[in-house]
Amino acid sequence: MDKMAWFVLLSTGGALATIAIGGIFPSLAMGRVISQALEALARQPEAEKSISRMLFIGLAMIESLAIYALVVVLIVLFRNPLLEYMLK
């Protein structure tokens, strides 16, 4: 295999690892946040509005981590900035 084939193989493997990690950890964090919010609602039902608001803000921030990982993977797979160095 030449250098270009190795580079494409390694960048694709790195992209797969990134999307796996970028999908697993935010989903685990979301599960934990939701379970903690349900426990808080069970303890203090009168604070439902503030808990729900903070829950949705937290979930949006956690989900943005998964979206950032997806964007990085798409850049690496379809418009890798290091490919022009390999072509020289």
Cα within 13 Å of Cα(45), Cβ side: 1
Residues 6+ apart with CB under 8 A from 45: none
Domain 8-78 of CATH type 1.20.20.10:
yes
Residues 81 and 79: their CA atoms lie apart, in Å, by 6
Task: For 27-40, give one letter per residue: b (16+ CB within 10 A) or e.
Answer: eebeeebeeebeeb
Among 3-7, 40-44, 46-50, 63-67, the minimum mean pLDDT is found in 3-7
pLDDT exceeding 70 applies to what percent of the chain? 99
pTM over 0.85: no
- 8-state DSSP, 46: G
What's the confidence (pLDDT) of residue 40? 95
Give how far Cα 31 sits from Cα of 1, 3, 9, 72, 83, Å.
43, 42, 33, 24, 38
